[in-house]
Structure 1
């Protein structure tokens, strides 16, 4: 007999693994819904340290060196596999890049363990990379091992997170699960702006230089209404990428682990009469992490880690939609027994 979950802990009793886990955006989202992480993996020692500090679980290392049979059984695979080979800011070598090949490790694990769901995230450009052939290849690979695949590009600012961050999300259900009614979450009516998540100088606990000590050009007519979009109000120098100044009455730029210019990685904003970059705790909030989340020790690592993370709140919303289509019985892992 199969029943369906419809509670606050909608994933209670389900297990997941967290591949290319970084600082655990997937972990934060799914565990908040009751799911239990049974395995995590990443190669970055600094991210692994933050992950362990927050979740009490030390991630394993290089997934290419781990045998699939040594990974515990699980219901859901989560993987924000490396985006650099597919990003417009990279060389876009795709599957010809060794990092792009890591997707096939996800396939190998899924083929062996047959989890109920495969839940993936990557950059928006993945959808159109190589004329759409890359996404088509992903869908075929998952279809070939018995999964029904759904994908969509969602922007965080449409889901209550004041960041202009568009990402491709891929959800694949095992073919024996009826997922025909699955849909990605619809946009919410209310929105937040950057001003809503700012902290005071006194609340910032990480050392670093944030105020931009350069001559700035600010537009005379600064908007005074809240907008669910980037609101550019000025510039430094020629106003190229990384030299643009934005209003806190709009959303933030996309947080990035890389990127140059004075505003690289977080963007620049006029806040309390000065132009500055964002504090690490503000970056954490823009990625949906709670204020109890323990940060890395340096500004550099925080910027890198949050720029590489998934947006927790968006993952939560998608996970809730996934959960509505998951059968539940006493045999969570493996094939269903009706």
Structure 2
């Protein structure tokens, strides 16, 4: 690995390409992407000019192009406890992580970054995470992980996620010098991104009275141009207008509305020119399932630093 090399990466469970945005550099090239959701594929295609491959289970790892980096935010699934134990890779069979492990075993990229919710650590009483770590170790990867909050990376959103980074020991002469970025306290708040007089995102007066404000308990979170706060973690079910998890804006025809497309982009760190050729419901789902781009970008910087040594 050296600074003159063009690094190739694959984008698995790609969603709308948030991780790809974080890893894109003049010296990098995405050589393969995979995403099964047809609506996410549309958004990915219009922004990156390529349609991701569909179900990752339908492709032989041998047919995936050679690459230096594997990146992906994989779904959290329980592992099967049925059948004879044949090593840690066998224990993950039937899960989508198993496909990642297969690709790592077959293609042996120099490094990987995997992203998931913090609950992965305690999933199935910690068994899932333990098997993941042991599987990656058995595949000869030096692995480390960290839970990072997007709020510490100049985003106006509290969003904790766990990130796992690994380096293949076959390419290392010594233990790799890699440290996760930690971020820092900052004064980037939602008020800097709230738009005025937006139309079409309004929440009806009836829904406000009968549901959102049925209790005087400080919920849901309401923001405006004066709100020096970080919003709650944006979830894929935001479109359902849930009072416990939602953040809404004091604006619009009825005095209260959903976050606009530009506001959603801002809380996740997507560029303003990123496009969503899908319904608003799908846009909210896709944003909620995506990643905090600046966090990925800083982790990518650290990984590339190691690869260029």
In which range does the TM-score fall when normalised by the shorter chain? 0.7 to 0.9
Answer yes or no: is the 8 Å Cα contact 1:163–1:252 preserved in 2: yes
Answer yes or no: is the 8 Å Cα contact 1:214–1:236 preserved in 2: no
Closer, same or farther in 2 for the Cα pair 1:156/1:139, shift >3 Å? same
Answer yes or no: is the 8 Å Cα contact 1:82–1:99 preserved in 2: no
Closer, same or farther in 2 for the Cα pair 1:240/1:4, shift >3 Å? farther
Other-structure match for 2:266: 285
Give me the CA root mean square deviation: 2.8
Give, in whole Å, the separation in 2 of the partners of 1:319 and 1:270. Answer: 37
Q: What displacement does 1:275 show?
A: 2.7
Give, in whole Å, the separation in 2 of the partners of 1:267 and 1:159. Answer: 20
Other-structure match for 1:210: 202
Q: What displacement does 1:263 show?
A: 4.8
1:22-64: CA deviation from partner (whole Å, max 9, x where unpaired): 1000111111464210000111111101101000111001000
Give TM-score scaled by structure 2 length. Answer: 0.84
Q: What displacement does 1:189 show?
A: 4.0
Unaligned stretches of 5+ residues in structure 2 = 82-91
* 1:95 equivalenced with 2:79 (yes/no): yes
Answer yes or no: is the 8 Å Cα contact 2:220–2:245 preserved in 1: no
Give, in whole Å, the separation in 2 of the partners of 1:105 and 1:51. Answer: 21
Give, in whole Å, the separation in 2 of the partners of 1:77 and 1:309. Answer: 17
* 1:57 equivalenced with 2:38 (yes/no): no
Q: What displacement does 1:164 show?
A: 1.0
Decide which moves more: 125-134 or 55-64. 125-134
* 1:314 equivalenced with 2:286 (yes/no): no
Give, in whole Å, the separation in 1 of the partners of 2:291 and 2:136. Answer: 22
Residue number among 249, 264, 288 corresponding to 2:228 in the alignment: 249
Closer, same or farther in 2 for the Cα pair 1:167/1:55, shift >3 Å? same
Answer yes or no: is the 8 Å Cα contact 2:70–2:111 preserved in 1: yes
* 1:113 equivalenced with 2:107 (yes/no): yes
Other-structure match for 2:124: 130
Closer, same or farther in 2 for the Cα pair 1:215/1:24, shift >3 Å? closer
1:170-221: CA deviation from partner (whole Å, max 9, x where unpaired): 101111334532111022242311111223445x7xxx4334525869xxxx
Closer, same or farther in 2 for the Cα pair 1:201/1:190, shift >3 Å? same
Matches within 5 A, 1:287-306: 287-306=268-287
Other-structure match for 2:87: none
Give, in whole Å, the separation in 2 of the partners of 1:69 and 1:173. Answer: 20
| Higher share of residues assigned helix | 2
* 1:82 equivalenced with 2:58 (yes/no): no
Count, aligned residues: 290
